[in-house]
Amino acid sequence: MKDFNDKVAVITGGASGVGRSLAFALGRQGAKIAVGDVDADAMAQIAKELAAEKIQAIVEHCDVTSLDSLNALADKATEQLGGLDLVFANAGIGAGESGAMWEYSEKDWQWAFNVNVWGVVNSIRAFMPRLVASGQEAHFVVTGSGNGAYTILPDAPIYTTTKAAVHAITENLHYQVQAGGLPVKVSALFPGPHVVDTGLFNSGRVRPQELQKEGVQGNESGINSVDDMKQMAAEYGIEIQTTHPDEVADMALRGLQEDAFWLLETTEDTDVKIRARADMILNRTTPVPATLG
């Protein structure tokens, strides 16, 4: 898709973080934007800021754990903006787990799978039939994570597990679209190459009431922001580099203009870890944990 002008882009989890940056990056290139989110404060803020830049947009409450909610967003985007050209299944959370995984709350597992995995499945079910039926060039983009897709960081097993599943779903969708000769391009977006400075570590702000844990405030890991992560890492002599969400959005749009599947930017260190993991599998060597640094 060489030109985003006058295209309609739907972004779930679009009111903050990478989703917000995608909305502005696309809007500044002439796209019409449908933002779906559950964070009321962030929704009000982005609606005001999009309007200030005269970007044509709608901002709607959308809970990706509900197929009905996603269908409603698809209907509104089609009716109010004139169609569907790009869909970003971007909504995701971090459960904030810490310690031994056999001691995690079932509510953490449920919440992460509901949003990260079922959110993608529901997005596919809501949007793919419409994109296919249009018969026009379209893109379906899933936000995954290198933590789960191509390496394993054992400090966040729930998140890692959900993102491993997300990438399997994304790659399978890509193969099915190719096999069907369909005009929809599927892409896997990996925010990075460093830790992305978003509100992922503060996901508890949108945790549903029925999955709240009694007596728990914030993340059990003690990391509620990127700054918390930096400070904790510094205590062990590790310096954490970060990537701004705007950089991720710019990288994603460049890739989409080339119809790329892998919307991915890595560092030399990341490439070493990917090769080491592949070698470990091929050589049947005992796994050792990767590090964040």
CA dist., res. 58 & res. 246, Å (int)? 20
Question: How much is the pLDDT for 292?
Answer: 58
Question: How much is the pLDDT for 98?
Answer: 86
Show Cβ contacts of residue 293 under 8 Å, excluding neighbours closer than 6 positions: 233, 238, 239, 240, 269
pLDDT in tens, 133-142: 999 999 999 9
Q: What is the mean pLDDT of residues 235-245?
A: 83
How much is the mean pLDDT over the chain? 94
pLDDT band (50, 70, 90) for residue 171: very high
Is the confidence at residue 293, as pLDDT, over 70? no
Q: Which has the higher per-residue pLDDT, 241 or 33?
A: 33
Q: What is the mean pLDDT of residues 41-65?
A: 98
Question: How much is the pLDDT for 218?
Answer: 63
pLDDT in tens, 221-234: 677 777 877 776 67
pLDDT in tens, 192-207: 999 999 988 899 999 9
pLDDT band (50, 70, 90) for residue 289: confident
* Bridge partners of residue 33, in order along the sequence: 9, 57
pLDDT in tens, 54-104: 999 999 999 999 999 999 999 999 999 999 999 999 999 999 888 999 999
Question: How much is the pLDDT for 222?
Answer: 72
Which domains does the chain carry?
Answer: 8-220+241-267 (3.40.50.720)
What are 84's two structure tokens?
Answer: 């569907």
What are 173's two structure tokens?
Answer: 């969708």
Q: Alpha-carbon torsion 266, 251, 207, 72, what sign?
A: negative
Active site residues: 159
Question: How much is the pLDDT for 201?
Answer: 85
Peptide bond just before 287 cis, omega within 30 deg: no
Q: What is the mean pLDDT of residues 260-283?
A: 96
